[in-house]
Amino acid sequence: MLLADIGNTYFHIYNGESVEHLTYEEAIEKYRNEKLCYISVKHQLSSEIEQIKVWKNISSFVHIEGDYETMGVDRRALCLSRKNGVFVDAGSAITVDIVEEGIYRGGYIFPGFKAMLASYAKISPALKTELKENISLTQLPTTTKEQISYGIIASIKALIDKHSKGKTLYFTGGDGQFLSSFFEEAVLDELLVFNGLQKAIQLESLKDNELC
């Protein structure tokens, strides 16, 4: 069974063993004739995807106790993956969500790293830079570009640290590996969303025979 998480930038497709990251055009071309269950936050693609008859949108089946109406379906699936934890999805946006005993307790959203860096460049060309991957958070930097990296990463880390004491911290998303490197005992797992989707499918299949 193929599962897909259609994000703001890429199709993420899970074949039961590994995850493939494709552009929209690549995914549609490669899998348009294969049975696939998907969730999507990219509403602009809805009409094109709905024409693919062997694909099924299961977004409406993905819920967790305590979620809210406008919560992204990818975040719902992520939170379904484990009964307890703090879940960080570092992609186009950086979302942080907290689950306790299978109940969603709330969360918060940062712009993604690319969006943050772009905002600095809009202020002044002199502030155009890339993240310094080996930035130290134990001492204040002394150059403008290092200070931008420090400001971005340290502020995110501080808020996550505040809400993750005593909880397992899970990371996923394109920048998940980089961001997780600033946290001790962080769990990096790109299958979290798909684990949540599998749980949602199992629950729905109890009511609707075989869903996918």
H or E stretch including 146? helix 144-164
* Residues 86 and 53 both lie in one domain: no
Q: What is the CATH number of the domain that holds 45?
A: 3.30.420.40
* Residues 104 and 180 both lie in one domain: yes
Residue 204 counted as domain residue: no
* Residues 89 and 135 both lie in one domain: yes
Residue 100 counted as domain residue: yes
Mean pLDDT of the chain: 92
Residue 155 counted as domain residue: yes
Dihedral (C-alpha) 114, 87, 46, 15: value to the nearest 10 degrees?
100
Residue 106 counted as domain residue: yes
Catalytic residue among 74, 89, 97, 175: 74
* Residues 92 and 139 both lie in one domain: yes
Q: What is the pLDDT of residue 101?
A: 97
Q: What is the pLDDT of residue 45?
A: 65
- Percent of the chain predicted with pLDDT > 70: 94
* Residues 36 and 137 both lie in one domain: no
Residue 73 counted as domain residue: no
Residue 74 counted as domain residue: no
Residue 209 counted as domain residue: no
* Residues 174 and 89 both lie in one domain: yes
* Residues 183 and 89 both lie in one domain: yes
* Residues 22 and 92 both lie in one domain: no
Distance CA 24, CA 21 (A): 10
Residue 200 counted as domain residue: no
Tens digits of residue pLDDT in 158-187:
999 999 999 999 999 999 999 999 999 999
DSSP string, 113-124: HHHHHHHHHHH-
- Whether 74 sits among the annotated catalytic residues: the reply is yes
Tens digits of residue pLDDT in 89-123:
999 999 999 999 999 999 999 999 999 999 999 99
Domain limits for position 142:
82-191
* Residues 186 and 94 both lie in one domain: yes
**Residue keyed to tokens 């969500």:** 97
Would the pTM count as exceeding 0.85?
yes
* Residues 47 and 100 both lie in one domain: no
Q: How confident is the model at residue 211 (pLDDT cuts 50, 70, 90)?
A: low
Which residues neighbour 66 within 8 Å (Cβ) at sequence distance 6 or greater? 103, 104, 105
* Residues 45 and 100 both lie in one domain: no
* Residues 44 and 94 both lie in one domain: no
Distance CA 9, CA 31 (A): 18
Please give the tally of structural domains in the chain.
2
What value does the mean pLDDT take over residues 32-43? Answer: 88
